[in-house]
Amino acid sequence: MRSAKAGLQGLFAVYKPPGVYWKQVRDAVETNLLKDLNKFRRPAPRKHIYFLPSTVEGADGKELTITATEQSSLVDHPLVSGPLFTHWKMGVGHRLDKKSSGVFVLAAGKGTKKLVDCHSAHFTRTYTVRGLFGKATDDFSDTGKLIEKTTFEHITREQLERVLSVIQGSNHKALLQLSAPLYFLPRRHYCPPQEHKDREESQPLSYLKSPAKKWTVAQSMGSDHEQPVWRGVLIGIICMAFVLWCMFRSPTELDQKLEELLMGKELEDFPPKQEKP
């Protein structure tokens, strides 16, 4: 029984049928595991020694003595203690909708600690969507109340792919817009000033015990003076790119004119004039 309990640790996948809530699948798996664990042979009940009074025939008649007897403890009896396993730690990797079906990841025992790593890994998920053209229901499902019906012979595969691409693009755009303020934009936190106790005028001011010891130059300049690191790196990259562009760009007419002016001035100065003695 202990080996079976130790083996139920880890992640596993089950199939979730449509029309069933994910919690019902989890509870059904847990119930079946508990039933199988309780079917194992139970350990032998503990024995207790009791000292019970009894009478024996003696020379003077009946005498009272104490006899040691061994009896099984009723605490370990199945009718008293009930099943050994009544709860098992189960975790859910992802929650599927009631009308969806497919792979359902579960974790048992110590395997629940791996669900965080599994969620952070961002494994690829593939979904298959099924629909019916020409009908509309109140809850957008095949079992809902029919509220509209029309023809669908004019729908082509090209039109459907165009609509799906527009939906996918809008979802990607919304994802980037929502995630940008959380991860890419700098944040500034306001720290309220700390309240200090008023000192008595008769006591001298100690520098080592005062807040001035921990005051820095950056705090004197203000929070706006502190520039983020990425801004300096960005300016350096732009300057380096400008220098490389100046070095490797193709020459223009302005460059040729400047070169002719500079070369002409150098030729006039060379050779140097010699002074007469």
Under 8 Å between Cβ of 131 and 111: no
**How many Å apart are CA 39 and CA 217, to the nearest integer?**
73
Q: How many CB atoms lie within 10 A of CB 137?
A: 14
Say which amino acid occupies 243.
V
List the one residue out of 72, 88, 114 whose CA is nearest residue 28.
Answer: 88
**How many Å apart are CA 84 and CA 76, to the nearest integer?**
10
137's CB contacts (< 8 A; 6+ apart) are 143, 144, 145, 146, 147
Under 8 Å between Cβ of 52 and 67: yes
Under 8 Å between Cβ of 108 and 12: yes
Tokens of 159: 């039109």
Tell me the helices (H) and strands (E) count for the chain, helix number first.
8, 7
List the one residue out of 217, 195, 218, 215 whose CA is nearest residue 207.
Answer: 215
Write the Ramachandran bin of 122: left for phi over 0, alpha for psi from -120 to 50, otherwise beta.
left
Question: Which of the residues are catalytic?
Answer: 97
Under 8 Å between Cβ of 103 and 15: yes
Asked whether the bond before 43 is cis by omega within 30 degrees of 0, the reply is no
